[in-house]
Chain A
Amino acid sequence: MAEPICCGDYLVERVPVEEERQKLEIEEVYTAQITPQQTARALQFASKMLPRLDGLEHVKRIKRETGDTVLHVILCQCKALDRDQLDGRLRDTEWADLDIAVGRVPTTPPYTREQFDEWRTLWPVAYRPLVKLKAPSFSDDEKAYIQMCLRRVEELQEGAASGRSVAAAIGNPNTRQVVAEARDATAESGNPLRHAVLCCISLVAEREVAREADRAQKRPASPPETGGGGDGGYLCDSMDVFTTREPCVMCSMALVHSRIGRLFFIDPSSGGGGISRYSMHSRKQLNHHFVCFQCTRAGKRAL
């Protein structure tokens, strides 16, 4: 895991994505012992006469145990042929007397060094770190902006009268300005869904609707505040969201729908957090992902 980045008072740490949290899954393959001299012919036979390996691009075809004079070659996946079918394909070939065994290989590629070290004890695998898992780096200006926004939501939270005191803000990473901020309004509105994040998203949207109305009436338009993605302010495209508490499942999915770029939260949620429970920032089935950071007050951690 990458080292946390120090942004003034805060330590900012990227939350792992789904791939980094994956556990080892195993599938079975038929393997055969061959001599090094037989390698080319064995692979040629497998490619012509046996089902192709499906989804195992990360698995090396041949394993050599240290000090061993024989090699273990993967013939095909057990899910592709049963043992009788395999024997049938080998019968009357030069491979009829092969010593066949069932081997275990990782189903998915390793994405982290730790996974690689675990996966390869099973069978040799290739390791290609994902580009998106590269350690993030912030410029000094960006660090100051992140600190400013985190302080802002903490101050806003402390000013809350009562109830669930959660505060959120939306920042524009290009102008490094806060464009919307809100406190949880569930108590005052009597609406259990008026969470701080949803309120912020509404503020951005309402301002955008008003701006469009101004444009339509040819009034001088107020300057665009949204649209970090540079395409004229569609939703919260590429914006940063700062919040004192990890968003719930509803709010996390609202951030996906709003296509934000980055989420910075301070306290983890107990029980209903969209990031900790479902990795909502990085679920493969969803059409949008964002980078997520958990932020700790530097002083707090040292205590």
Chain B
Amino acid sequence: MEKVENTFNKIVELEKVHHLFFDGMTLMFGGFGGVGTPPKLVDTLLDSSVKNLTLIGNDAGFPTIGIGKVVCAGKVDKLIASHIGSNPVAGKMMTDNKLEVEFSPQGTLAERIRAGGVGLGGILVDVGITSEIVTRNKQILTSGGKDYILEPALTADLSIVFAKKADPYGNLIFDKSARNTNPLVAMAGTKTIVEVEEFVPLGELDPEEIVVPGVYVDYMVQSEGVNWTWVWEETYGT
């Protein structure tokens, strides 16, 4: 493999990003049911003393997969997600009032994160407009004769992202369905750390194929791949 020059000093050892995690922070994570969630950054969080997090992301993972591990470790006060059904521990914590959960319809959540990442204050959407749970404490606005919910944009102190390839500037491409919320989350963090499977030299990625421009990326760490067992691996062999 060609040597990748660290031209912009964005490629760092894990220790250099420890200071970005702190108590009470808002943390946004990429991934959908654990697919596309950065394993090493999840473990960094688990190994740290950081607590009282507000987490923002698609779902609560599974108890042993993805962000689910962080939720199960009791480090999270509040979760903004669309679904926690795959993590029964999260469900129990919510029922026991140990975890506050704010549900947003999945596409609305994705678009709220995108809005945060592109400098918008919010979006107008009619999904769930008849549901009291969705519209609670939100403004209803009329545009073009139709009613919409004003859904506020979401940003975070820090975003953690998983990418297939990156160049030294932080231009990113993703792998198949592991793209999911990662490009959106990458844009919405005040700071963004990307766990990267493969670094390539500047100029090697075709500008046409880049999904997230490196302007959104602050730090990158080398991934060692997924270190959990997938649910389907457990059930397939039996």
* Bind each other: no
Which of A's residues lie within 8 Å of B, judged by CB?
none
Which of B's residues lie within 8 Å of A, judged by CB?
none
